[in-house]
Structure 1
């Protein structure tokens, strides 16, 4: 599988299909690997890549610090995820693309559209992550990780991460840099040697920057309200994908279609068809 080096960090990606480019931001929180489009939760059954790839060149990739992509210990922000997305489009020679986000990928899709609207032809925001319980859960996850660091130290995080396949979303103790700790010996060695106080400041700042509100995180409402990029919004309905998150996007985005159907009716037949109909208009 090809690797692109973007901002000094390796990104694993794959292109599937033919037609106009569709950049797909994976679901799965801090474990947002490209395989999640076919193996994670609801997405396993919805079959988006198989359904969309006959009509679009689907570009799937591991978000930095996920899957087989690399990472860097720095304050994580949505802007840094946008750097990765723009860099991947640049490396592939793509001036503009449709985008699709699943779950937490919706935040990066929206942030890319705000940062570089000329690069985004349209965006599908499927089951956006957000809501007060979502924010609380993310901050709790960081707190559990930092408690483990305080008690056992960073070398113990490396040992734990390399001894399990669980990511930050499933085992908070391993932290948000678990994936590169497993795949990159040099990264793991430098991580273990970091100053603990500095690391705690970076991790705490990451939690605040990434999960800063009780709705869809990442983009200011005023920026969404002035965005001309057309969007299809598809609501979720659980503690991590609150219906209020999708309604927030509906309220803020001027050029949108809202697919107002319950999750039970978002099936392998109806969901890809609705997305294809939207993309075909743009």
Structure 2
């Protein structure tokens, strides 16, 4: 698959289909690779890429520190993910696009609309991640990782990350930079050389900035309330994708359509049809 350098970070992407572009923010938490649209959880069965690419150009990519994209050892925050998305759009010559987020990708899709509303025609927010259980789980993951780092050191994290393909979401010990540690020797060397004190500041700051609320993280509610971007919101119904998170977005977004059906009725045919119908009007 093709790779672009975006502000010094290797970004793997793929373009599928033909038609108006849809920039797709992958599901999967800290393992948000483009493959997740076809291999991860319920998205494997929903088949959005196959369905949408019949009428649209699906632009999928590995979020930084995911899949085969690179990373940077710095305090992680939502705007840094948006910088990557905007850089990808610019490099590909994309003007205004539709966007679609799955799971945690909804946060990035919404924040892109806040940051650059003139670049977003509409957004589909499918099963947004959020809720008090989600927040505490994410923060606990960072705490467990930092504890392992302080006890065993950063070289041990490099060794562990390279001995497995498991990501941060399943094994907190490997940390959020595990994919970059596996694919970039230079990054791994610099990572292992940083002081533990400095690393602890980066990790704790990342946890605080990324997961600071008991609903959908990322964009501020007041910014969402001022958006004129049309949105389709499709709720999840588990501890990490709460209906309260979806309803929060509905409450905040002035031009929101809420598809009020349970997950059991969000079949591949019905879901693709609802998304395509929404996109066709914008």
- TM-score exceeds 0.5: yes
Q: C-alpha distance in 2, partners of 1:205/1:33? A: 24
Q: C-alpha distance in 2, partners of 1:183/1:195? A: 22
Q: C-alpha distance in 2, partners of 1:189/1:75? A: 18
Q: C-alpha distance in 2, partners of 1:279/1:121? A: 9
Runs of 4+, deviation exceeding 2 Å:
none
- SS of the residue 2:123 aligns to: strand
Q: C-alpha distance in 1, partners of 2:187/2:35? A: 23
> Residues 155-197 of structure 1, C-alpha deviation per residue, up to 9 Å, x if partnerless?
0000000000100000000000000000011111110111111
Q: C-alpha distance in 2, partners of 1:139/1:49? A: 32
> Residues 185-237 of structure 1, C-alpha deviation per residue, up to 9 Å, x if partnerless?
11111101111110110011001111010000001100000000000000000
Residue of structure 1 equivalent to 2:137? 137
Residue of structure 1 equivalent to 2:227? 227
Q: C-alpha distance in 1, partners of 2:176/2:69? A: 13
Q: C-alpha distance in 1, partners of 2:93/2:140? A: 40
Q: C-alpha distance in 2, partners of 1:8/1:21? A: 25
Residue of structure 2 equivalent to 1:188? 188
- Aligned pairs for 1:48-59 (under 5 A) are 48-59=48-59
Residue of structure 1 equivalent to 2:33? 33
Residue 4 of structure 1 deviates from its aligned partner by: 1.0
Under a length normalisation based on structure 1, what TM-score does the superposition of the two structures give? 1.00
- Aligned pairs for 1:78-93 (under 5 A) are 78-93=78-93
> Residues 22-56 of structure 1, C-alpha deviation per residue, up to 9 Å, x if partnerless?
00000000000000000000000000000000100
Q: C-alpha distance in 1, partners of 2:212/2:50? A: 35
- SS of the residue 1:70 aligns to: coil
Residue of structure 2 equivalent to 1:174? 174
Q: C-alpha distance in 1, partners of 2:105/2:4? A: 19
Residue 148 of structure 1 deviates from its aligned partner by: 0.3
Residue 7 of structure 1 deviates from its aligned partner by: 1.2
Gaps of 5+ in 2: none
- SS of the residue 1:111 aligns to: helix
- Aligned pairs for 1:56-205 (under 5 A) are 56-205=56-205
Q: C-alpha distance in 2, partners of 1:13/1:215? A: 29
Q: C-alpha distance in 2, partners of 1:126/1:197? A: 38
- SS of the residue 1:22 aligns to: strand
- SS of the residue 1:150 aligns to: helix
Q: C-alpha distance in 2, partners of 1:277/1:105? A: 21
Under a length normalisation based on structure 2, what TM-score does the superposition of the two structures give? 1.00
- Count, aligned residues: 282
1:236 aligns with 2:212: no
